[in-house]
């Protein structure tokens, strides 16, 4: 798989791209605009746009707010320590 870099040169992880695609698809499924999601989640239009484009440096608290508005949740899995 080829590495993907943002405009700032920061490597974008596959998980970031996956979240971005899911947010955009779910927003569209509900017929919502980016501005509506931004308003309901207490974020800005620019933030929602950057999130949907897979910007790798977005703030986690804002990501979680957007996911909540869209009825999505973030799950972290891994090996048990």
Give the CA distances from residue 55 to residues 3, 18, 42, 61, 71, in Å, rounded to whole numbers and listed in that order. 14, 12, 19, 15, 21
Reported as type and span, the H/E element at residue 5 is strand 4-5
Q: Which residue has the higher pLDDT, 9 or 22?
A: 22
Domains of the chain: 10-68 (1.10.260.40)
Query: Does residue 72 come out as left (phi exceeding 0), alpha (psi in the -120 to 50 range) or beta?
Result: beta
If you average pLDDT over every residue of the chain, what do you get?
Answer: 86
- 40-64 tens-digit pLDDT: 999 999 999 999 999 988 899 999 9
């Amino acid at each position: 798989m080829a590495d993907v870099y943002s405009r700032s040169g920061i490597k974008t992880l596959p998980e970031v791209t996956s979240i971005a695609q899911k947010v955009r698809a779910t927003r569209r499924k509900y017929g919502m605009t980016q501005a509506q999601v931004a308003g309901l989640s207490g974020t800005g239009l620019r933030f929602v746009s950057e999130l949907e484009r897979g910007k790798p440096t977005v703030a986690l608290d804002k990501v979680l707010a957007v996911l909540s508005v869209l009825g999505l949740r973030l799950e972290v899995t891994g090996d048990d320590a």
